[in-house]
Chain A
């Protein structure tokens, strides 16, 4: 545990000393701020429209603003995650510092989990921006906070899974750009695989859509914790970190 924390702290230090963390925070803040603003505008517009026409539907902040925004966060995450994970191992391989880690009395798994945890913490700090915006909803309205918490859990699980995959891809190359691009491609595919279920019901389509990280987020975004989906994310996290460990090991046998 101690070693994991040593690595994690070092990674967080690297993120926040370099411009990476601030760049990501800024980009995320701007993009999410824009989404929030449009969602809120639309909500207000529909409210006024209803009043004018005299037809009243129940309008719910959770349903109309929080839920779509949380799914937007997942999409923004697709762009952020490669930027977070691409340097994790690629940079250590390029500068040779991987030799320091590999010849220190510390287990590979500790290095890997430490790095992945640091990536997850950085991603969570991005989510603070969303909390900042949602705070306004709580100030001026009465959304239900429980589905929101479940939604956050879903987003963190999804991010954790994609970050684990990104961590794995980062061990495959010395080049950060390659690691980032490949991670983005894989993340995007895993996201859009769910779309096939809309027009195809063959077994292949079902399998494909089952591997989609977006499909498994639907219950969370509704505020429901489905153990099936939680287990899916946890397995992907485990698989990603497991592959990372194997890849690190093979690095030693090959190089």
Chain B
């Protein structure tokens, strides 16, 4: 449905988007992920024919954005970062205006206004001035505006930005319910959003494509070698940390042992195994046989947030190899 090839956008002195290529199949929800200023909005603006690309091509719903922007525009619904609303208009009046802009008229227009008002639950604000609506309602009116002409492709720029948690959930559910009929690209810098709503992720950073894969594969790929957290305690309240470390390092298949935290009488180790080897059983046995207590043994399932930080953080060489050398316990604030 969307094919982007070597897309590049240069501004005076800066490259906002650098040779990005990806494809989005019909009916999928794709998360467009990256830190602020990564080039998400620019890419979306190119896809919506708002900006022309400097190089490369983008094909939306079978039409090229440069050659046939008119045909593309007919087939896309776009919600920019701030909903493009006229504060002096009433909701119904605004939807009517946008519907007409998109080429609807007569009974069909009325029907679509009815449909999107229902779908986006904005029926109760139909006669309210847009300028007086809350942020959540504005966002929903923005969504309603984007789907009013039943477009093939929906492009949503940070659809949940600035909403409260309840509104975020409602918006996500709404977007999920729209998939299937529409192919959706949504941009975000909030990771749980991608994990919850999207089937595919496209990660970009500093204008470059970092990864594009399904959410599940990406998690697996970033995990690579298995990492296990082990908490060991001494029987009599004291523990020789160095001894434990040495013991663990000698287990077959273990590539690295790192002491993360020490308390009196117990310590947490991070054990990295070589790719493809499961060492959990051996770990447990070794600890118990050496006369220590095994308080906890858990695989560190990486959240997408850690994947993301790995992929986008630091330099490009790091981004290439999913498993970074030094692992720091990541505490990512879920925004």
A-side interface residues toward B, CB under 8 Å? 3, 6, 10, 13-14, 17-18, 95-106, 252-255
Contacts and interface: CB of A to CB of B under 8 A. Distances in A.
A18 B51 contact: no
B13 to A, nearest CB: 12
B218 interface: no
Contacts of B100: 6
Contact of B49 (A17, A97, A103, A255): A103
Nearest to A15: B88
Contacts of B74: 105
Interface of B: 11-12, 45, 48-52, 70, 73-74, 76, 78, 80-82, 84-89, 93, 97-98, 100-103, 145
A103 B78 contact: yes
A6 B11 CA distance: 33
B84 A17 contact: no
Contacts of B101: 3, 6, 100-101, 104-106
A99 B103 contact: no
A148 to B, nearest CB: 36
A253 B70 contact: no
Given A3-B101, A14-B88, A252 B73 contact: no
Contact of B86 (A97, A102, A254, A255): A97
Given A10-B97, A253-B52, 8 more contacts: A3-B101, A6-B100, A13-B89, A95-B84, A99-B48, A106-B101, A252-B51, A254-B12
Contacts of A103: 48-50, 73, 76, 78
A18 B88 contact: yes
Contacts of A255: 51
6 contacts: A6-B100, A10-B86, A99-B48, A99-B50, A100-B98, A103-B48
B88 A17 contact: yes
Which of A102, A103, A105 gathers most chain B CB within 10 Å?
A103
A200 B102 CA distance: 55
Contact of B70 (A13, A100, A102, A105): A105
A105 B103 contact: yes
A252 B73 CA distance: 15
Contacts of A252: 50-52
Contacts of B85: 95, 97
A3 B104 CA distance: 11
B84 A105 contact: no
A6 B50 contact: no
A105 B49 CA distance: 10
Nearest to A14: B88
A103 B51 CA distance: 10
Nearest to A104: B101
A136 B145 CA distance: 50
A102 B52 contact: no
